[in-house]
Structure 1
Amino acid sequence: MTQQTTTTVISKWTKILGILVLALVLNTHYAQAQVGQWNAPASANQLKNPLAGNTSVLKEAKKLYTTNCGPCHGNNGKGDGIAAAALNPKPADHTSAAVQKESDGALYWKMTEGHTPMPSYKQALTDTQRWMLVNYIRSLAKRK
């Protein structure tokens, strides 16, 4: 191999290595962002729960929760559902002070938008069903 060919090969491998390192750095940054705190935008806090305080929806909301949220968050909302062990980040404990202090709008927004590994429920559940789930999540803290 000539000196020029060797230099060209080294140059190409250096570029490839640089691209791989950049990809690794970006992937690590993205993964850390995903594991970090999940905050709803400030605008979500302005959303008003049309079912606030409506306990008549809790029976139906419990069914929705068990079906859609229970596999990850557990039927009692502790974040210990059957699928929780395989998830990163781990599902939130809906009975915790951290979740309970969030606004209804923030909880609704999170259900609507989703955040890996949690799916978006924008298409799967109606607006009313998502608000019902917010009310149900509120009721979980009272059962601790």
Structure 2
Amino acid sequence: MKTNFSYLLVVVLFIIGGQFASAQDSDWKAPKSADAFKNPFKGNTKATAEGKRIYEQMCVLCHGIKGKGNGEAGLTLDKKPANFLAFKVKNESDGVIFWKLTNGKPPMASYEELLTEDQRWQLVNYIRALEK
């Protein structure tokens, strides 16, 4: 279980990182191999519910409650966080979204060490649920 300190650290990294680089540059592309990653929780409502819990703890500050990229901390960044409802994100495969969550690109943090692989897939499920 992650501590509140870990969550605070992530938020601080987002804000500081926003001063130096862009997470939402149009050139932020995952390698083609990311499309081959298969979501082991696709269609799993329990996993989606867990993804929502994680999202509310770790993502909402930048990406906003509905995933539009308009969270309070995100508004302070030079380049705004991804709008998960945007056509570009909707057209990305689950594997690409998972890859981006795993690797990050400042100001978007890498979640490879903060979240387990299962938790990152659960987040993918919840991001997909935001589209509905």
Q: Same fold (TM over 0.5)?
A: yes
**Residue 53 (structure 1) aligns with:** 43
Which residue is 2:112 aligned to?
122
Counterpart of 1:43? Answer: 33
1:57-109: per-residue Cα shift (whole Å, max 9, x none)?
22221110011111100011010001111113210101122101100000000
Greater C-alpha radius of gyration: 1
1:22 matched residue in structure 2: none
Partner AA of 1:38 in structure 2 = W
Percent of pairs identical after alignment? Answer: 50
Deviations 1:2-60 (A, max 9, x none): xxxxxxxxxxxxxxxxxxxxxxxxxxxx9689734311110111111111111222222
Higher helix share: 1
Structure 1 window deviating more from structure 2 (100-109 vs 52-61): it is: 52-61
**Aligned residues of 1:71 and 1:83 also touching (Cα < 8 A):** yes
Q: Report how many aligned residue pairs link the two structures.
A: 113
Flag the structure with more relative contact order, 1 or 2, with Cα contacts below 8 A and sequence separation at least 6: 2
Give the alignment of 1:1-144 within 5 angstroms: 35-142=25-132
The answer for the alignment partner of 2:12 in structure 1 is none
Provide the C-alpha distance between the structure 2 equivalents of 1:133 and 1:33, rounded to a whole number of angstroms.
18
- Paired residue secondary structure (1:35): coil
> TM-score, structure 2 length as denominator?
0.79
Superposition TM-score, scaled by structure 1 size: 0.73
